[in-house]
Amino acid sequence: MAEVSMCNSTSSPELSPEKERIMIRDIALAAEANSKEGDTFYLITQRWWQNWIDYVNQDQMNNMYDGSSFSEHCDSANSSAQKRPSSIDNSDLIYDAASEDSSTGIEIHDTLLEGRDYVLLPQEVWNQLYSWYGGGPTLARKVISSGLSQTEFAVEVYPLRLQLLVLPMGDRSTIRISKKETIGQLHRKACEIFDLHLDQVCIWDYYGRRKHALMNDMDKTLDDANIQMDQEILVEVVDNTNNTSSVHYNGSIQKEASFALVEPSKSNLSIAGGLSASKGSSRIYSMELSSSQNLTSPVRDMECTYGSSGVSTRGSPGGLTGLINLGNTCFMNSAIQCLVHTPEFARYFRRENYQEEINKINPLGMVGELALAFGDLLQKLWAPSRTPIAPRSFKAKLARFAPQFSGHNQHDSQELLAFLLDGLHEDLNRVKQKPYIKSRDADGRRDEEVADEYWANHIARNDSIIVDVCQGQYKSTLVCPVCNKVSVTFDPFMYLSLPLQSTTTRTMTVTVFTCDGTALPSSCTVTVPKQGRCRDLIQALSSACSLKHNERLLLVVIRNHLIQRFLEDPLLLLSTIKDDDHLAAYRIPKTDKDTKYLQLIHRRREQNSDSQIISGWKPYGTPIASLISCDDAVTRGDIQRMVHRILSPFLKKVGNEEQAIASETNNPKATGLDQCSENTSGDACAGTMVSNALNKSGADSKTAISKLPLQLVDETNACIDLSMGEDKVLKFTTSSSAVLVYIDWSQKLLEKYDTHPLENLPEVLKYGPSTKKARTEPLSLYTCLEAFLREEPLVPEDMWYCPQCKERRQASKKLDLWRLPEVLVIHLKRFSYSRSMKHKLETFVNFPIHDLDLTNYIANKNNSRHQLYELYALINHYGSMGSGHYTAHIKLLDENRWYNFDDSHISLISEDEVNSAAAYVLFYRRVKSDAAYVNNGT
């Protein structure tokens, strides 16, 4: 494969640098004019070539190269004298040690790129340079035909590397062979290596370690036989009496290729590195000179090494080209691969005239540069190549127009996909001047009429290949919660973002407190709508705790032993309450009087390990809330009576003192609570509880009750001791809706009361073994879609302006699918927020690969078209937010095979491996009912 030659540099003192340059220029031009298939080109290290370019151009000042030159690698030298290069040294292109298998010859590194690591020289140019400088090793490569038309020429830098396996002996050998060699030549090579006769063997396409085809068409090329890089070839030794054309496999004669996948490949198809084409063929470029007669490199751009052939079909490796990771760019690579393997886009961007639709005057676009960069990258990825591409120019364009994706940080692949679809649409919008169109409300008109009007208005302003392929339409219905005004619009969508909800309900645990001293607090676990509101939770709790008709529940969030916020808005979304929150609900009387919330905050001293008391009181346990009247005078003694009554269920035992406390605090006449029966009005009950808690004539009762260490926080944040001067009337600040009272639990007081029920407040949802198991149960894609289409209230930030109320309202919104696109992109919302932290949901979603039937989800019942889709690509996300990795699973439709695209590495996978918990963005194509439809990317 490569001639090995190393010799000393041969000086040519009679030639000046200028003469060397001119001579090589003339030789290169002549060689290019006569280039043909079968010619030999030679690899030379880019490092040495650049030194020689600098040497021969050292006398040229202010050199300028034309647009076809590779100026990045062929810049002129400085004005200072440049030393003549030493002998050619290609050692940096090859592995340190020669291959143990002589059949492969000298192996070059798999990660070489033309223009970065090496350049290709015609044989005549190489011979002349070699005669002057010597060196080596000599790395010769042949010119082959490429492209669908087979009319383009390319240098096969990386011939096929095949693994030959001989059965039944089990011998192995690795060979290098051009993909343009015939099956007959492969037969002869195999027989030479293993010392076999031609009539002793039959050769099988052993792709994925399974027999796919008996290779008995001796005139067929390996390229036409779809033989891939690093593929295994089975050399089967047969009895001389057998006829190789009748070798049986699975009981049938195998005369033609059968490419049905039986099991996944046991080894990855590593596509890392290399230049271009079939582990790589490099397109031949002209060696033109600029007007200043400077010698240019025989390449144009290290990323522009392919022709412009159409999308490859079977028989060529088109579509199996990886993308090099430029530093956390797996998010970009996975999205790009899914888009370029969308057949409609592949056909469109391979057309020579697609650039005629570029809209350079659209203020919302990117002057067509994004579309051009994407089209160029797509053409390279679909060229007959197997060498990964470094998408540097595309990433540079992306960073220019979307700075959020610049740098080398990890980003969200779906966010990039959304930007690309929108940006490509604007760059390719066929509408040059968008008309102003004012949308009308439905006003009772038929949905079909309104939907068609909205769609026509949309198309009048937005008309591109992206709209043709990816855009659908849904019906949006808003209902005002006050006046019940209904507003219906029909809006376009590019993709569907579906929530990962395993059920439509949610389990919530709340601790309920009584404020009349009748019972200890108890935990209630209720089931509520997952997308429900606070009123749904209160209603469920009211039923669970048998709430009386003259009572209501005060719902609060407890944090750090204090009431963090009151949940009094019945329309508050339950989604704002997190699973790790602690909720409490207080049974308080209904009343129309002016009242405030009495918050009883528990405090105690803490002890260190040496049992030394730490100065200061700190909150602990769960605060208790009750109502206090602002219409009547309230004394310090009234607060004492109220707190005694609230805490009475926590008394440990009934002794003489406790018996007196219990009898007095529960004495209806003493407390004025005799009217607080179930048949009593809420106002009467509330009034007697707070303002007439103590009869003025009951002086003896007052003295019988021990004083609790209570302190009231006044409007200046000063503490008032409520154990003294019980007849003093309290004044409450008007700026606060709460009255804060501390109770300091001394060790002596804790001997009388059991406060443990106040200390163990459960979370809303405590994750245990059972709940964790439930969270990992498979979730249907249809269930996610139903959750997306379910009616739910708008978030407060998106409140709707009701045209009838003339106010912003938190309306209810209902979405319905009306018109579906040819390619349906579905985004699974795996990333969610818990307070300030963003985390990932690892929920396994069971999505159909075939026959995704959305017919019953279409609100337009006049549309009789069957809405059936098939999966052809998806983006996966593995790991956590900060250190995750993206890959793509893609089905090559013309092969009917699934591949895993992991940056520059591509491997065959089985269909069973496609559906996993890593699935993030799904790409579906509509199943055509027309039998004549060809389901491929050509």
Nearest Cα neighbor of 613 from 736, 508, 746, 516 is: 746
Task: Cis check for the bond before 137: say yes or no (omega within 30 of 0).
Answer: yes
Going 527 to 529 to 532 to 536, the CA torsion angle's sign is negative
Q: How far apart are CA 526 and CA 547, in angstroms?
A: 14
Going 344 to 349 to 353 to 359, the CA torsion angle's sign is positive
Q: Is 127 left (phi over 0), alpha (psi -120 to 50) or beta?
A: alpha
- The residue length of the chain stands at 938
Is residue 591 a contact partner of residue 651, using CB atoms and an 8 Å limit? Answer: no
Is residue 822 a contact partner of residue 468, using CB atoms and an 8 Å limit? Answer: yes
Q: How far apart are CA 199 and CA 347, in angstroms?
A: 45
Residue reference for tokens 């049986």: 248
**Catalytic entry in 74, 330, 545, 802:** 330
Tokens read off for 127:
């011979």
3-state secondary structure of 213: strand
Contacts (Cβ under 8 Å, ≥6 apart) of 402: 419, 423
DSSP string, 883-908: T-EEEEEEEETTTTEEEEEETTEEEE
In 580-729, at which residue ranges do the beta strands (DSSP E only) sit? 582-589, 595-604, 618-619, 624-629, 710-713, 719-721
**Catalytic entry in 191, 524, 885, 905:** 885
**What is the chain's Cα-based Rg?**
40
Contacts (Cβ under 8 Å, ≥6 apart) of 879: 885
Residue reference for tokens 């082959």: 144
**Which phi and psi angles does 386 have, rounded to 5°?**
-125, 5
Question: How many C-beta atoms lie closer than 10 Å to residue 255's C-beta?
Answer: 13
Strands 551-559 and 582-589: antiparallel
Q: How far apart are CA 98 and CA 708, in angstroms?
A: 92
For residue 42, list its beta bridge partners.
Answer: 121, 140
Q: How far, in whole angstroms, is CA 937 from its chain's centroid?
A: 25
Tokens read off for 779:
């979730």
Long-range contacts of 344-348 (CB under 8 A, 24+ apart): 344/465, 344/468, 344/469, 344/822, 344/823, 345/378, 345/465, 345/469, 346/311, 346/378, 346/382, 346/937, 347/311, 347/937, 347/938, 348/465
DSSP state letter for 405: G
Is residue 350 a contact partner of residue 306, using CB atoms and an 8 Å limit? Answer: no
Tokens read off for 491:
């809006």
Q: How far apart are CA 32 and CA 493, in angstroms?
A: 52
Q: Is 109 assigned a catalytic role?
A: no
Is residue 550 a contact partner of residue 677, using CB atoms and an 8 Å limit? Answer: no
Q: What is the 3-state secondary structure (H, E, C) of 9-34?
A: CCCCCCCCHHHHHHHHHHHHHHHHHC
DSSP string, 411-460: --HHHHHHHHHHHHHHHT-S-SSPPP-PPPP-TT--HHHHHHHHHHHHHH
Is residue 762 a contact partner of residue 672, using CB atoms and an 8 Å limit? Answer: no
Nearest Cα neighbor of 923 from 887, 886, 869, 878 is: 869
3-state secondary structure of 881: coil
Q: Is 885 assigned a catalytic role?
A: yes
Strands 710-713 and 738-744: antiparallel
Catalytic (active-site) positions: 330, 885
